Each structure stands twice: as C-alpha cells, then as structure tokens.
Amino acid sequence: MPRQRLSILVALKDDFERERLTELLSRTASRVMAAPDAAAALKRFRAETPDVTLVDMHMTGPLGKSLVTHMRTESETAPLIVLYDQYNPKQLLEVMEQNADAFLQSPVEPERLLVALRRCARAVFLRRKLEQADHDLRRLLDAFPSMALLENGGRVTYTNRRLANYLGYEDHEAMTADNAAPGDFMERLNGDIYEGGDESWIKTVTDDNLDVDHIIHLENPANPTGRTAAFSVNYSSLPSSELRMFSFHDVSALEDERLRLADEASTDPLTKALNRRSFLATLAQRMAVAGNLSLIMFDIDHFKSINDTFGHDAGDNVLRELAALVRENIRETDALARWGGEEFMVMLPASDYPEQKKPPNGCAKPSVKPSLPTCPDK
C-alpha cells in the first residue's frame, strides 16, 4: 500500500504491540501517533482529529472501558478499528453498538490490518472529496450575482453571502450561530401572511406542478424604513445530488406596479371607495365565510342641485369629503363602496339585521357638522 496523506492514532495498552503497529503503519500513512492509555488517547483524539483510530477495547485507566464510547461521542463519522484480546460476545456487542468500522483480534496480522485500513481510508478520501466539492459549491454560490441558498430535504444547508447580507448577517456561518433561517424573515408568500418557517415555503415552491411564479416578501433589517421587498423564487435540482438551489430575484418594482394597477381596477378614482365590481366580489367572499352581515345603502339628497348651483368640481369635492367622513366613522372590517353617482354602500360584517336600523359601531352621528367648503350653507 503506497504512502498516503493519512493520519492514524494507535491507542494500545501493550507497549510491544503499540510500537510494532506504529512502525508498520508509518510505512503507509503520512503521520502516525501513539497513546499508551485511555486518557492520553482521548486527549490526542480531540486535539489531533486523526483520520483513522486504532483502539484497544481494554485500554487502561478510568476511561478504559468507555473509550470507544467517548470517541464516538466526539465524532460520529471518524473511522474506528477496534482490537480485542479475547473473544467476549457481550463486550464485542457493546462495542459494535458504537458503530465501529472494523474488529481485529490482537496480535494483529499485518495483512488483515492493511485490508481494514484500506477500507477506512477509502471512506476518508471520499469524505474529503465531498467536503471539497461542498466548499467549491459554496464559493461558487457566493459569487452568484443573485441571492441564493442550498436546500436538502426541506432544510436550508447554505445561504450565500448576498442573501445573508440582505438579512443583516455577514455570512451563512453568522446566521447559523444566531440560529436564523431565511424563513424567519418571510412576511408573505404569494400574497398571504406567512408563519411557516423554512420547510413550509420550500414545500410550497417545490410541490407546485403548475410551475407558477412564487412571490415572497422578505424583511430587510438594513432598510431603515422597514419596508419589505418582493422576490420571485425559482429552484433547480443539482445533478447527481439531493441538493436544490433556490434563487431570489428582486421584483419589488413590478410588484408595486401590479398592486397599483390592482388598486386602480378595484377603487373609484374620485372617492377612493371600492367600485361596484370590487364591492360585489368582496361581498361574495365575505358571505362565503362570514356569519352575520349587514348592508347600508345611502345617497346624497338633492345632489343634482349642488352640481347645478356650484358646478361639477364642487360636486366632486362633496363626494370625496363624504366618502372620507364615512371612512373615518366605520370599522376597519367594514367596506365602503361607491355604488354609482351619489349612491354609496357600506358592508358591515358580523352585524345583525335588527342592528341595521341603528347607527353602526363607530358610525354614530358626528358631534360637529362636517365642513364642506365648496358648498357654503344657504
């Protein structure tokens, strides 16, 4: 076996066997360390993090019988080759439960040791390749021009630097140290208030068979106005991997324009009340989910005479000020609509029919006469 870039810890209680195996392994590994007792072995295991550890099942010292357990607690993946003097099924079973990679009887035959070492070395070299590939992928993601993250099984495994910076962190490691995730900063998903953590929004995006655009709103701690930004989210699966990459593209300007157009389409431009079409759609939605619901319809008496006497601009001002006055005196859950001309409609959810005959809560007669400067009293 050619000499490999491999570090090995030989933790054996027998001096002769420890020296023999240390000399043997030095021919194939770039670095071999030795430890005569359990305390020294655990200390070196923690400090040196060897690639492979050869450990005696019956090491001396207070930690002797539990050394393998302590090592496995320190690292769940570090390869362990366990040596035993006598066949003891109970003790071997206890060690096997610690997920040892190989068992060899002492004194060890060199060929059997080298076979076990090759198997462990392959696992070490594969892990290094995966770690290097992961490192390269993360560097590539940091150079990506947009905010992006990596996900595996509903869990975010890496947040690139642009996304971390947007969320107020220096990098992914800083977010991890603060136990923060992108889902913690999400306010809306496709227009709905979001409170689902990371796994829920990822599932919504990846389970969409229609492949529609998904819009999320993310808090921006760096923005002093506290205004959230809108992002279109796309994802793609990485070849030969369970990883998926999600990219975020800022569509705040487009989203603002969409909302502006939607607002224009649903409101009366003069009074800013709902128009008839939007009011009827809102009424249908409320009736589908609400219990009691009441409607108030009213108009302005002699409105034509206002237009004839003071002009249409004055009439427009009366309509605007009346709508503003009503809005100030109804609940947030109520809806005001301009039904047509000088006719208005108010929808009051959770209101009983008999209560229609009374002024609705918050809509009592004003204590002062509203001022309509365009229409002086006559």
pLDDT digits (tens, 9 = 90+) for 182-198: 999 999 998 888 987 77
List Cβ neighbours of 358 (8 Å cut-off, separation of 6 or more).
none
Q: Highest-confidence range of 76-85, 167-176, 345-354, by mean pLDDT?
A: 167-176
When mean pLDDT is compared across 105-109, 146-150, 293-297, 348-352, the lowest value belongs to 348-352
Q: What is the token pair recorded at 87?
A: 């066949």
* Average pLDDT value for the chain: 85
Compute φ and ψ for 377, nearest 5 degrees.
-60, 145
342 is catalytic: yes
> Which pLDDT score is estimated for 157?
94
pLDDT surpassing 80 at residue 293: yes
Given the residues 17, 170, 342, 355, the one annotated as active site: 342
Least Cα distance to 325 among 272, 263, 378 occurs for 272
Taken in order 37, 38, 43, 47, is the CA torsion positive or negative? positive
Domains and CATH numbers, the chain: 4-133 (3.40.50.2300), 145-252 (3.30.450.20), 267-357 (3.30.70.270)
Q: Confidence class of residue 368 from pLDDT cuts 50, 70 and 90?
A: very low
Q: In angstroms, how far is the first alpha carbon of the chain from the final one?
A: 111
Interatomic CA distance for residues 55 and 75, integer angstroms: 14
List Cβ neighbours of 363 (8 Å cut-off, separation of 6 or more).
326, 329, 330, 346
> Which pLDDT score is estimated for 290?
65
Residues of the chain above pLDDT 90, percent = 47
Beta bridge partners of 31: 7
pLDDT digits (tens, 9 = 90+) for 132-144: 988 999 999 999 9
The whole model's pTM is what?
A: 0.58
Beta bridge partners of 241: none
Work out the angle at residue 194's Cα, subtended by the Cα atoms of residues 190 and 200, and round it to the nearest 5 degrees: 90
Taken in order 122, 126, 131, 135, is the CA torsion positive or negative? positive
Interatomic CA distance for residues 145 and 159, integer angstroms: 13
Q: Confidence class of residue 289 from pLDDT cuts 50, 70 and 90?
A: confident
- Residue with the larger pLDDT of the pair 89 and 178: 178
